Amino acid sequence: MVVENPIEYRKLQVTGGSTFIVSLPKNWIKSNNLGPSDVVSVEQLPSGEVQISPHEVKETKRMVEIDLRKYPPNTLYDCLIGAYVSGADTLIVRNKDGLSSKERRLVRRFLRDTRGMEISDDQVDALTIVSLLNPNELPLQVSLNRMYLLVTSLVEDALAVLEGEDVDLLSDYDDRERQIDARRLLISRQVAMILQNHQVEREIGLNRYGAMEHSVMAHYFERMGDHANTLARLVMEGSGVMKFSLDEAPLSFLPTWLSALRDIVRNMYSKDIRVLSDGKLKLEEVINQLSQHEEMLMATNKQRTTLLIEFRISEIARRLCGYSIDMTETLINMLLAARTDTIVKEA
CATH number, domain with residue 96: 3.30.1370
pLDDT digit string, tens, across residues 176-185: 999 999 999 9
2 within a domain of the structure (yes/no): no
Residue 2 has pLDDT above 50, yes or no: no
For the ranges 37-51, 126-140, 323-337, the lowest mean pLDDT is seen at 37-51
Residue 237 has pLDDT above 50, yes or no: yes
**172 and 304 inside one domain:** yes
**97 and 117 inside one domain:** yes
Rounded to whole angstroms, the Cα distance separating 234 from 306 reads 12
Residue 86 burial (CB count, 10 A)? 14
Angle CA 327–257–250, to nearest 5: 130
344 within a domain of the structure (yes/no): no
Rounded to whole angstroms, the Cα distance separating 74 from 61 reads 27
**204 and 171 inside one domain:** yes
Residue 287 has pLDDT above 50, yes or no: yes
Rounded to whole angstroms, the Cα distance separating 212 from 201 reads 12
Of 48, 220, 248, 240, the residue nearest 151 (C-alpha): 220
pLDDT of residue 4: 53
Beta carbons within 8 Å of 83's beta carbon, 6+ residues apart: 64, 66, 91
The residue-averaged pLDDT of 101-130 equals: 97
Report how many domains make up the chain: 3
145 within a domain of the structure (yes/no): yes
Q: Distance of alpha carbon 167 from its chain centroid, rounded?
A: 30
**310 and 208 inside one domain:** yes
**76 and 195 inside one domain:** no
Is there a contact between 148 and 261 (Cβ–Cβ < 8 Å)? yes
**77 and 48 inside one domain:** no
**77 and 193 inside one domain:** no
Range of the domain at 37: 13-54
87 within a domain of the structure (yes/no): yes
pLDDT of residue 337: 82
**266 and 153 inside one domain:** yes
pLDDT confidence tier of residue 8, bands split at 50, 70 and 90 = confident
**99 and 181 inside one domain:** no
38 within a domain of the structure (yes/no): yes
**157 and 274 inside one domain:** yes
Average pLDDT taken over every residue of the chain: 90
345 within a domain of the structure (yes/no): no
pLDDT of residue 1: 38
**28 and 127 inside one domain:** no
The residue-averaged pLDDT of 162-177 equals: 96
Three-state SS string over the chain comes to CCCCCCCCCCCCEEECCCEEECCCCHHHHHHCCCCCCCCEEEEECCCCCEEEEECCCCCCCCEEEEEHHHCCCCCHHHHHHHHHHCCCCEEEEECCCCCCHHHHHHHHHHHHHCCCEEEEEECCCEEEEEECCCCCCCCHHHHHHHHHHHHHHHHHHHHHHHCCCCHHHHCCHHHHHHHHHHHHHHHHHHHHHHHHCHHHHHHHCCCHHHHHHHHHHHHHHHHHHHHHHHHHHHHHHCCCCCCCCCCCCCHHHHHHHHHHHHHHHHCCCCCCHHHHHHHHHHHHHHHHHHHHHHHHHHCCCCCHHHHHHHHHHHHHHHHHHHHHHHHHHHHHHHHHHHCCCCCCCCC
Of 314, 286, 311, 309, the residue nearest 298 (C-alpha): 311
**178 and 251 inside one domain:** yes
pLDDT digit string, tens, across residues 189-219: 999 999 988 778 878 888 888 899 899 999 9
The residue-averaged pLDDT of 88-97 equals: 96
Rounded to whole angstroms, the Cα distance separating 346 from 334 reads 28
The residue-averaged pLDDT of 133-149 equals: 92
4 within a domain of the structure (yes/no): no
Integer-rounded Cα radius of gyration of the chain: 26
279 within a domain of the structure (yes/no): yes
Residue 332 has pLDDT above 60, yes or no: yes
